[in-house]
Structure 1
Amino acid sequence: MKDPVTAVTGITYDRESIEQWLLKSKNCMCPVSMQPLPRSSEFLIPNHTLLRLIHAWCLANEAKRVDQILTSVIPLDKTHVQKLVRDLEVPHLYQSVLERMIVLATESERNRMCMVEEGVTKTMVMLINKSFKEGKTTCLEEVIKILRLLWNTQTMAHSNMQPLIGDFIKSLTWILKLKVDNNVKLVNKAMPLLKSTIEVYDSNRLGSLNIEFFREMVTVLRKKKSLSQPAIKSALHVLIETCPLGRNRTKIVEAGAVKELIEIELEKPENKNITELVFNLLAHLCSCVEGRKQFLLHAAGIAMTSKRILRVSHATDDRAIHIFALIAKYSGSNEVVREMLRVGAVSKLCMVMQADCASYLKEKARDIVRLHSKVWNSSPCIHVYLLTRDQR
């Protein structure tokens, strides 16, 4: 315990632990006695006697390398937070207040809860929107850091935040293309925020995003070597989330996403989750004519997809075979069909039919092979399959 407090049931807990329990508990019960507890932390009484005993024990065991526990003398309250928010309007205090907020938000969950309750999240969103409109980057990194520390999906989904989200998405997109020294750091911090914002925004409005937005997402993918994996994954999530809405699928293809997705896989990402996201998005994009066209224009598209089957995960197999099904059914020209044979895609489909895969995947692979059997029946791998297939 660092900050012992006693609940109305008479049980003493560490302040941060019991506050987290009260925040997450549905029925708000005392963990020990199972009696009802008020959700507000105002009903938690500091246990000064136990705190003195803890400090005395730490001091007595200092020789055993027991660190002294430091407890905040004055816990953060709403009056203090309100003053900090007001001080942001004073130009010469702006940076120091933001730095103080970072310290407080880093300190404890209790502080973060208090700051969220007093609207600091909304204030940070408004500051980022203001920076975008004025074209200023002063302390932008600090504001983003506070927002990430305080991020709460429920808060962003709240009705009074929705009118700000449209401008906030534009502001975060603006941050992605800033030509400043700390651009990489800003992009790494802004992308997870953009992903979380997209997830709570009105889907009808997401269907009207402009192509410039998608070009910036593709630019993030293009910078895969310099950006963090969470930033790349966030960009992929954003594209997957927005892809089915309106004309977004076509816009994503026009922005050059198909090529970049294939290029990501050609560099063999170590994180299999990235591969799963790449194939998920590719399957979405190949469901339209433009997407399949771009996929087939890339010299390594079919070969790369074939190589990933049975090597990464069930989810990747599912999406990769779905891509081949779309290609074979809607874009299966003689040239494409022969390339699938030449680069080993047909052999891999036959392997799927005999491997320990889900039955629906085997059936899907079988349908693809049957679709162009007249062209592929001279292939040795087809003959082997016909001789060894399960007659059932």
Structure 2
Amino acid sequence: MELSLSSSSSAAVEVPHYFLCPISLEVMRDPVTLATGITYDRASIERWLFSDGHATCPVTRSALAPHEREATPNHTLRRLIQAWCAAHQVERFPTPRPPLDSCRVAALLDEGRHGGKGNEVAALREIKAIVAESDRNRRCVKATPGAVEFLVSVVTKHSSTSRSTSKSSKHADQDADEFLEEPDSPTSTSSQEEDALSVLYSLKPSEKSLAQILEKDGDFLDTLASVLRRPSYRSRTYGILLLKALTAVMEPARLTTVSAKLVQEVVRVVVDRVSSKAVRAALHVLCRLCPWGRNRVKAVEAGAVAALVELLLDEGGRRVTELAVIVVDHLCGCAEGRSELVAHPAGLAVVSKKAMRVSLAATESAVRALHAVARHSPTPAVLQEMLAVGVVAKLLLVLQVDAGERARVRAKEMLKAHTRVWKDSPCLPAHLKASYPC
């Protein structure tokens, strides 16, 4: 590799190969050495190990135990690189700051807990800036005892203040998804609650930490319901992402007892289209909640069926469509859900449309939802509508393609159960009558 001189000379100098990171092939700014003896630039090796999830040395391919993944600064090589840069008049890299340690984080946490409101704000903003700086810092904060608990306490304390009953307005947070892709500015004017939620999102607490949050604060789910009522789309996005992580570790007994208020706010995230990430997270939460207790009915009463049908009509991404169909399937497990789906002018049509060309999971869920309607609500009007909007044609198509055995069985069962209404109807195209099961 050659670097141009910084002087007026146009000559180039050859960079010693041992100054180059084996991953980026660029001069190392902060060289660190793994237990295998290979030196890398800190940013490159931390990205390899922690962001990309590898557990091996890139050069030797040797497996690294968890304690071997923390690299040791190579001060000697760093000084050689800096001296070489100075001697050859090329860009000189500044000496990196000492890496963050748990003592500094613990001091900030103590300051935030016991130093009054001003100190809490300052400590929270500094923790936020530290986490945004590097993946190593994020892991250090996450590993510091009490860090997650402090952030949860901030969210809990401020959830009961500054409540607004105004309808969410997207103009304040138009780029919620883009905002989540990049670290927040430490100088932003966001609230303490939003700052704490953003850091919690960045830390990605372990299942054990999430379980401890629920165990220590029995009302934390209601706290998140308050967060989801905020006018700030950013706070709501962070809140629903945290709720998604929490529901993934909750036991069925706890899922059964969630409040109608929480379910309503989850549905509102879908209704308001807070952000694509928030909508996906809300659908995941509904998938997790709906099989338990009366959560189906709570979701239906909150307007979930209409919200999901509108979402499906908007032709969202494949994953959003799949999740929405799965939730519709869950809601059709109760009479209220089936009634709402049939009552919506586009309900049966859009569900049958999504029965194909999305995924096998979507096909199975869509057919199961239609099967529930045809089995439990087969009024003459409903059967005629299923024929008119193309549901019957889609069921015949399911029999002809590789749509999964369970979907095929349910489709055939529906078609046979309502043969007298559908088979000889003039609404059914002639070319499909030949494939109608006997």
TM-score (norm 1): 0.85
- Structure 1 pair 3/327, CA: closer, same or farther in 2 (3 Å)? same
Give, in angstroms, the shift of residue 229 of structure 1: 0.6
Give, in angstroms, the shift of residue 326 of structure 1: 1.0
The 2-side partners of 1:214 and 1:140 are apart by 21
Q: Residue 397 of structure 2: which of 340, 351, 357 is its match?
A: 351
Give, in angstroms, the shift of residue 169 of structure 1: 1.9
Give, in angstroms, the shift of residue 47 of structure 1: 1.2
User: RMSD between aligned alpha carbons?
Assistant: 3.1
Question: Which residue is 2:125 aligned to?
Answer: 99
- Structure 1 pair 105/217, CA: closer, same or farther in 2 (3 Å)? same
State yes or no: 1:207 paired with 2:256: yes
Q: Residue 99 of structure 2: which of 72, 75, 81 is its match?
A: 75
Uncovered stretches (5+) of structure 2, i.e. residues with no partner: 1-27, 164-189
Give, in angstroms, the shift of residue 129 of structure 1: 1.2
Question: Which residue is 1:87 aligned to?
Answer: 111
Deviations 1:101-160 (A, max 9, x none): 1221112222111111113122101111122245689522211111111122335245x4
State yes or no: 1:242 paired with 2:266: no
Question: Which residue is 1:39 aligned to?
Answer: 67
Question: Which residue is 1:172 aligned to?
Answer: 224
Give, in angstroms, the shift of residue 263 of structure 1: 1.8
Does the 8 Å CA contact 1:19/1:110 hold for their aligned counterparts? Answer: yes
Give, in angstroms, the shift of residue 10 of structure 1: 3.4
Q: Which amino acid aligns with 1:79?
A: C
Does the 8 Å CA contact 1:175/1:186 hold for their aligned counterparts? Answer: yes
Q: Residue 309 of structure 1: which of 355, 361, 370 is its match?
A: 355
Does the 8 Å CA contact 2:30/2:42 hold for their aligned counterparts? Answer: yes
Q: Which amino acid aligns with 2:31?
A: P
Question: Which residue is 2:167 aligned to?
Answer: none
Does the 8 Å CA contact 1:306/1:344 hold for their aligned counterparts? Answer: yes
Give, in angstroms, the shift of residue 18 of structure 1: 5.3
Give, in angstroms, the shift of residue 358 of structure 1: 3.4
The 2-side partners of 1:218 and 1:33 are apart by 47
- Structure 1 pair 382/18, CA: closer, same or farther in 2 (3 Å)? same
Does the 8 Å CA contact 2:398/2:407 hold for their aligned counterparts? Answer: yes
Give, in angstroms, the shift of residue 371 of structure 1: 0.8
Q: Residue 335 of structure 2: which of 279, 285, 289 is its match?
A: 289
Give, in angstroms, the shift of residue 25 of structure 1: 7.0
The 1-side partners of 2:84 and 2:339 are apart by 72
Does the 8 Å CA contact 2:158/2:192 hold for their aligned counterparts? Answer: no
The 1-side partners of 2:294 and 2:207 are apart by 28
The 2-side partners of 1:203 and 1:54 are apart by 58
Does the 8 Å CA contact 1:310/1:317 hold for their aligned counterparts? Answer: yes
Does the 8 Å CA contact 1:5/1:13 hold for their aligned counterparts? Answer: yes
Q: Which amino acid aligns with 1:127?
A: V
Question: Which residue is 2:214 aligned to?
Answer: 162
Does the 8 Å CA contact 2:228/2:235 hold for their aligned counterparts? Answer: yes
- Structure 1 pair 133/359, CA: closer, same or farther in 2 (3 Å)? closer
- Structure 1 pair 287/8, CA: closer, same or farther in 2 (3 Å)? closer
Q: Residue 131 of structure 1: which of 145, 158, 161 is its match?
A: 158
- Structure 1 pair 324/7, CA: closer, same or farther in 2 (3 Å)? closer
Count of residue pairs the alignment pairs up? 379
- Structure 1 pair 69/362, CA: closer, same or farther in 2 (3 Å)? farther
Instruction: Pick which of 311-320 and 142-151 moved more.
Output: 311-320
Instruction: Pick which of 306-315 and 132-141 moved more.
Output: 132-141
Does the 8 Å CA contact 1:127/1:143 hold for their aligned counterparts? Answer: yes
Does the 8 Å CA contact 1:165/1:197 hold for their aligned counterparts? Answer: no
Q: Which amino acid aligns with 1:249?
A: R
The 1-side partners of 2:384 and 2:136 are apart by 63
Give, in angstroms, the shift of residue 71 of structure 1: 5.1
Give, in angstroms, the shift of residue 98 of structure 1: 2.0
- Structure 1 pair 150/82, CA: closer, same or farther in 2 (3 Å)? same
The 2-side partners of 1:153 and 1:38 are apart by 16
Question: Which residue is 1:13 aligned to?
Answer: 40
The 1-side partners of 2:69 and 2:392 are apart by 64
Instruction: Pick which of 365-374 and 307-316 moved more.
Output: 307-316
The 2-side partners of 1:58 and 1:138 are apart by 44
Uncovered stretches (5+) of structure 1, i.e. residues with no partner: none
Question: Which residue is 1:147 aligned to?
Answer: 200
The 2-side partners of 1:170 and 1:362 are apart by 42
The 2-side partners of 1:35 and 1:345 are apart by 54
Does the 8 Å CA contact 1:30/1:37 hold for their aligned counterparts? Answer: no
Q: Map of 1:203-352 to 2, 5 A cutoff?
A: 203-224=252-273, 227-266=274-313, 268-352=314-398
Give, in angstroms, the shift of residue 81 of structure 1: 0.8
- Structure 1 pair 324/45, CA: closer, same or farther in 2 (3 Å)? closer
TM-score (norm 2): 0.77
Instruction: Pick which of 98-107 and 30-39 moved more.
Output: 30-39
The 2-side partners of 1:178 and 1:36 are apart by 44
Q: Which amino acid aligns with 1:113?
A: R
The 1-side partners of 2:280 and 2:199 are apart by 22
Instruction: Pick which of 254-263 and 126-135 moved more.
Output: 126-135
Q: Among all aligned residue pairs of Structure 1 and Structure 2, give the percentage whose two residues are the same amino acid.
A: 34
